[in-house]
Amino acid sequence: MISCGYVSECRGYGLKVEVPTRCNQGEGFRTTAAMAAHADRLAELEKRYQVHPGCSPTEFIAAVKLYARAVADLFDLTVPVHELDWEISRRAKRRAGAVISTDGCPVRVRLTWEYFQREGWAAMAGTVRHELVHVHLLCEADDGSHGPAFRSLAEQLDAPRHCTRFAPPKYTVRCVDCPTEYYRYRRSKLVDRVDAYRCGECGGKLIVS
């Protein structure tokens, strides 16, 4: 699993990326003026389809799909928005969104309701763009990573590369010899049998707090 992204569960212009994508085929991205125009258009779309945390889940999904379609059209992404299942997760704690694929083909986009409730539409719109990058690269290049192609295209879409943790972990496993910490959102072998493990950085003893 990849946080805020691809599960088999946000393109810099100075970088040379060999992965084929439709986004880098247009001449529009070659000028600063065109890039600024796309940034303005993104801001306009974000405002147009904005919904507030008080909306219903149905209203939220409807707005997300309209926004995703508009962004995909703007950047000529290979994203079958209306063929994907868009759903809400009420359990996720570590990621704001995820793309679920079957046999390498994206079939579902899952967005975390709590993240939207806490952070609002602007943050969730960034997550939607992040997931659109994943879907596009999966369709074009079978690439679900956060590698060079992802970073480059995410920059064009002003999409976050990673999600911030938005819910506190239930358990924190700390090393007594160095600052390393491991976070867990539910009980696990590491939590239950912490004495059987050692710090991956220094080999020190671990404790649960």
Domain boundaries, the chain: 5-156, 171-208
Query: What value does the mean pLDDT take over residues 17-42?
Result: 60
Q: Is 98 helix (H, G, I), strand (E, B) or coil?
A: strand
Q: Check residue 84 and report its DSSP letter.
A: S
In terms of pTM, does the model score above 0.75?
no
Q: What distance in Å separates the CA atoms of residue 177 and residue 198, rounded to the nearest whole number? A: 11
Centroid of chain to Cα 168? 19
What's the pLDDT score for residue 84?
A: 96
| Strand order across the beta sheet in which 171-175 lies | 181-184, 171-175, 206-208
Q: Mean pLDDT score of the chain, rounded to an integer? A: 84
| Strand order across the beta sheet in which 97-102 lies | 5-7, 97-102, 105-112, 85-89
End-to-end CA distance of the chain: 25
153 — pLDDT class (breaks 50, 70, 90): very high
Which residues are catalytically annotated?
131
Helical H segments across 143-195, by residue range = 148-156, 189-192
Report the greatest alpha carbon distance in the chain: 58
Evaluate if residue 79 carries a pLDDT over 90. yes
166 — pLDDT class (breaks 50, 70, 90): low
Q: What distance in Å separates the CA atoms of residue 147 and residue 161, rounded to the nearest whole number? A: 10
What's the pLDDT score for residue 8?
A: 40
User: Tokens at residue 193, please?
Assistant: 């049998």
Q: What distance in Å separates the CA atoms of residue 180 and residue 199, rounded to the nearest whole number? A: 7
Evaluate if residue 103 carries a pLDDT over 90. no
User: Tokens at residue 208, please?
Assistant: 């649960």
76 — pLDDT class (breaks 50, 70, 90): very high
Nearest to 117 by CA among 38, 203, 56: 56
Q: 80-100: buried (b, 16+ CB within 10 Å) or exposed (e) per residue? A: ebeebebebbeebbbbbbbbb
